[in-house]
Structure 1
């Protein structure tokens, strides 16, 4: 399958930072009695999902500094907003140099330019943020202006006609008529809204 990079002229760093601010608010509002609840992402309960969100920021830092996320586990034992925020500050500093956006890096989905890595981790924050929001009863939509560039990048990288179910996402789910932009993005990634919204 050919991966089409449609993001060469775009800088994803502000999108990532805005998505991170939203996720931080979600993490900060999770109550201890919610940590064992299921989420729309079947492999995660709330605790594991929150730890994964923290870990993704550490992995993005490792990509900037080492060219690969492999030195950082995709799961973190910590799952609080303060730890997440501290790592986001480090990630923004690690990606401050414009040249990194065109540097070749390795990510879990292949070898890509740095900017594609940042787009991918912005998408990760938004999709898993949606998972966390609906699992914990928090508002699960954000400014459509934040979703639009992420959705465009995602559809360019993995168009519907190139989708192989389960690799790396499940089959596209038809969105509800009332679905907002982030729910639609979650549906495009294979997440069902049934029972969650």
Structure 2
């Protein structure tokens, strides 16, 4: 499967930073008493999921600087919107040069062009944003136009028949008939909506 022309022509940075604005609002609305709540991510409560979202931005910055994302822990004790926003601004500066999108970089899933890295981390924000939203009772819908290019890239990168043990995405879950675009993306990644929506 190949990525459609519309996904190829979309600047992944636009998608990423729009998703980051949504995630920031979610983080800002998490109440202290919600930090211990479970999430659709196995074994992650809200506190750890929020800290992971912060760490994903740090990792994207490291990738832009041609470092290894493995040099940055996937977990952070910092999980507030202000810290997230400050890192997003650093990421915006780190990825400002258009040439960065075609430069070879190293990501946890291999060596790829920079644009593939940004797509991957946009997917992280949307999927974990959905996790955070449903775990804390916040609206879990975003504009389908934001989700679709990420979904196209994801389907091309990891089709259902390519899922193997150890890959951090489970078998595709059949979506509810009324599921929106983001919930369908979560289902495609292997997350079940049961008990969350």
TM-score normalised to structure 1 length: 0.94
Counterpart check, 1:13 vs 2:13? yes
* Corresponding position of 1:107: 107
CA deviation digits over 1:2-30, x for unaligned, max 9? x9677655420000000000000000000
**Aligned in 2, Cα 1:5/1:176: closer, same or farther, shift over 3 Å?**
closer
Q: 3-state DSSP class of the match of 1:112?
A: strand
Number of the residue aligned with 1:174: 174
Q: Measure the CA separation in 1 of the matches of 2:144 and 2:166.
A: 27
The TM-score normalised by the length of structure 2 is 0.94
* Range 99-108 or range 124-133, more displaced: 99-108
How far is 1:120 from its partner? 0.2
User: Mind listing any 5+ residue stretches in structure 1 that lack a counterpart?
Assistant: none
Find out whether 1:85 has 2:95 as its counterpart.
Answer: no
- 2: CA distance, partners of 1:9 / 1:160: 24
CA distance in 2, matches of 1:42, 1:82: 26
Cα distance in 1 for partners of 2:9, 2:149 equals 12
The residue aligned with 1:55 is 55
Q: Given the superposition, is the C-alpha separation of residues 8 and 68 from structure 1 closer, same or farther in structure 2, using an over 3 Å criterion? A: farther
- Aligned-pair RMSD on alpha carbons? 1.5
Gaps of 5+ in 2: none
In the alignment, does 2:154 pair up with 1:154?
yes
Which residue is 2:145 aligned to?
145
Question: What does residue 70 of structure 2 align with?
Answer: 70
Inter-partner Cα distance in structure 2 for 1:79 and 1:26: 11
How far is 1:44 from its partner?
Answer: 1.0
